[in-house]
């Protein structure tokens, strides 16, 4: 059997917002910045939801009333850390038997400046690598930049 080691996807951005705002926009306002084109549902996406707290669901809602699971909340430490289970396989389908982890650290650099360190790890569990990894790395880059833009406009949230 050929073991392929797949690198962890890491992204880091500095946002001009408080640590509390940075956390809230990522965890509770994902619907404001998640691109409508990035989903696994059968119908157009109308919302992205992360339910607050440990074991909260992470899913999308769609125009036809359906929902598509992405995963769930593994760790919820308000303002400083969010851990999410990503249960989407290399075919971009939900797989309840699969789990890779998305971890996000929010580090205050002052009252209105936060470093956000994003990591999606254990991608070797996807089993396919290559194009999947490159596609996900590019996708997360886009998504994190959208998050940064919305967060910097959201100081009143």
CATH number, domain at 26?
3.30.530.20
Is residue 2 over pLDDT 70?
Answer: no
Q: Domain containing 103: what range?
A: 9-152
Is residue 127 over pLDDT 90?
Answer: no
Mean pLDDT of the chain: 91
Residue with more model confidence, 52 or 5: 52
The pTM score is 0.90
Tell me if 3 is assigned to some domain. no
Contacts of 2 (CB under 8 A, 6+ apart): none
- Rounded CA-CA distance 140/146 in Å is 10
Tell me if 15 is assigned to some domain. yes
Tell me if 4 is assigned to some domain. no
Domain count, the chain: 1
Tell me if 1 is assigned to some domain. no
């Amino acid at each position: 059997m050929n073991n392929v080691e797949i690198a962890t996807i890491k992204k880091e951005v500095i946002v001009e917002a408080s640590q509390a705002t940075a956390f809230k926009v990522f965890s509770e306002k994902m619907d404001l910045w998640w691109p409508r084109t990035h989903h696994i549902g059968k119908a157009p996406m109308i919302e992205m939801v992360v339910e607050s707290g440990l074991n909260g669901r992470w899913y999308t809602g769609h125009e036809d009333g359906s929902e598509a699971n992405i995963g769930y909340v593994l760790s919820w430490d308000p303002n400083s850390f969010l851990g999410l289970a990503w249960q989407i396989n290399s075919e971009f389908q939900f797989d309840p038997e699969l789990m890779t982890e998305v971890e996000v650290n929010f580090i205050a650099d002052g009252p209105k400046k936060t470093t956000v360190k994003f990591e999606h790890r254990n991608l070797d569990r996807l089993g396919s690598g290559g194009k999947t990894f490159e596609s996900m790395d590019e996708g997360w880059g886009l998504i994190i930049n959208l998050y940064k833009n919305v967060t910097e406009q959201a100081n009143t949230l």
